Amino acid sequence: MSKEAYNKIISKLERLDEYLKFLREIQQVNKKKFTEDFHFYGLAERYFQLSIEIVLDVCKLILVAKNLKRAEDNKDIFEILKENGFISKKVFNRLAGINSFRNILVHDYEKIDREIVYQKLQTNLEDFLDFKKEIAKFLKKQM
C-alpha cells in the first residue's frame, strides 16, 4: 500500500472518530426529545450519513490500494473485503445493512423514521468502532 493511500485512510478514520464523538453526545438525549427536536435528529442523520460515507471511502481505498476486484456497487464492497480477510464475518454482518440505511438518508429522506434513527443511534455506533479496529489492524501490517 502506498504511503498516500495509508495517509488518506488514517485521515478518514480520524474524521470518523470526530463524527462518532458527536453521535455519542446526541446518543445521550432521551427518545422523546430526540424525535421532537430537529436539532437532534437532523444532526444524527447527517453524522450517520457522513460516518457511513467514510466507511465506504475507506473500503474503496483499500480495494484500489490492494488491487482487489472492483465492486459493482456499495453492497459488494463489504463482501470483497470479507472474502479477502480485511474485515471479519462479524463486522461484515454488522455492516451489511449500512448501505441501505445510507440510501434512505441520502435518497429517501422524506421517509426517514426518527425512531429508527434513534434506535440505530443507541445500538449501532459500536459497528463503526469495530470496523475501525479491524482496519487499524490491517494498517499496522502495512507499515
- Write out the E strands in the chain: none
Give residue-wise pLDDT tens across range 12-24: 999 999 999 999 9
Q: Cα separation of 16 and 31, whole Å?
A: 24
pLDDT at 98: 85
Instruction: Indicate the domain borders of the chain.
Output: 3-142
pLDDT at 7 over 80: yes
Q: Of 11, 36, 25, give the one whose Cα is nearest residue 115.
A: 36
pLDDT at 26: 97
- What CATH superfamily classification does 3-142 receive? bsu32300-like (1.20.120.580)
Contact predicate 113/64, CB 8 Å = no
Mean pLDDT of 110-124: 89
pLDDT at 143: 64
pTM across the whole model: 0.90
Give residue-wise pLDDT tens across range 134-143: 999 988 887 6
| Element (DSSP H or E) covering residue 25 | helix 3-27
pLDDT at 97: 82
DSSP letter, residue 67: T
Q: Cα separation of 54 and 12, whole Å?
A: 6
Checking phi first, is residue 113 left (phi over 0); if not, alpha (psi -120 to 50) or beta? Answer: beta
Question: Which contacts qualify for 133-142: CB closer than 8 Å, 24 or more apart?
Answer: 134/86, 134/87, 134/88, 134/91, 135/9, 135/13, 135/58, 135/62, 135/86, 135/87, 136/13, 138/62, 138/86, 139/6, 139/9, 139/10, 142/1, 142/6
Mean pLDDT of 88-94: 91
Computed over every residue of the chain, the mean pLDDT equals 91
Mean pLDDT of 102-111: 79
Q: Which of 9-18, 68-77, 105-114 has the highest mean pLDDT?
A: 9-18
